[in-house]
């Protein structure tokens, strides 16, 4: 009985997230913009405080930089696990109208991404756009509505929820992010 009630509440929370139902107070602080991960779990950036977060924005329909970002995050997840570094990887869609939590779950499945290590998130389009603005992420859509030209940054947030570094998505991103996460100041500042 408890399990079915909890699942029902989780389904309701996901439906509210997808419909864009959030309180005004929560929506004004970028750390409190509600998203939904590959498991349908509603969360915000404030929920991730306590360990560093490595964040990027992608579109599942992008065929340029986004597959590179996904592959880099997959490699980074494996490296962090191997080196026993406790950090949360977070990929947020640039295309919430198409990349629903269900679509993001498919990407998570393809990479065997465990939400405890790597969350792939979507949410109400207004929520995603507010979060994109908070990180100064831009995305221009092509004639089919696919984000074709967009920012390709990786953001490192310290354990207290503060933006600590902005990195370029590059061939060195796994080493650069891992090196930063070895620095204990990201955990204790």
- Domain with residue 88: its CATH number is 3.40.30.10
DSSP-assigned beta bridge partners for residue 141:
147
70 lies in which domain range?
Answer: 2-188
Dihedral sign from CA coordinates of 57, 61, 64, 69: positive
Per-residue pLDDT tens for 121-169?
999 999 999 999 999 998 888 888 888 778 889 999 999 999 999 998 8
- Average pLDDT estimate for 12-24: 40
Number of domains in the chain: 1
pLDDT at 54 over 90: yes
Per-residue pLDDT tens for 69-90?
999 999 999 999 999 999 999 9
Provide the pLDDT for residue 182.
82
Average pLDDT score, the chain: 84
**β 35-36/42-43 pair status:** antiparallel
Provide the pLDDT for residue 11.
40
Whole-prediction pTM value? 0.82
CA distance 68 to 70: 5
Residue 187 banded pLDDT, cuts 50, 70, 90: low
């Amino acid at each position: 009985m408890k399990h079915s009630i909890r699942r029902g509440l989780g389904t309701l929370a996901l439906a509210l997230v997808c419909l864009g139902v959030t309180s005004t107070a929560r929506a004004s602080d970028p750390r409190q913009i509600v998203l939904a991960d590959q498991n349908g779990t509603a969360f915000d950036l404030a929920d991730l405080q306590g360990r560093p977060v490595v964040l990027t924005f992608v579109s599942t329909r992008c065929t340029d930089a986004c597959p590179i970002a996904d592959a880099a995050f997959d490699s980074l997840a494996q490296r962090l696990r191997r080196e026993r570094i406790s950090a949360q990887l977070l990929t947020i869609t640039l295309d919430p109208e198409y990349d629903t939590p269900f679509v993001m779950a498919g990407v998570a499945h393809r990479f065997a991404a465990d939400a405890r290590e790597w969350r792939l998130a979507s949410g109400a389009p207004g929520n995603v756009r507010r979060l994109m603005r908070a990180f100064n992420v831009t995305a221009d859509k092509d004639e089919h509505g696919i984000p074709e030209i967009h920012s390709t940054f990786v953001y490192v947030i310290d354990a207290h929820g503060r933006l600590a570094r902005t990195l370029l998505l590059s061939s060195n991103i796994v080493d650069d992010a891992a090196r930063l996460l070895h620095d204990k100041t990201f955990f204790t500042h």
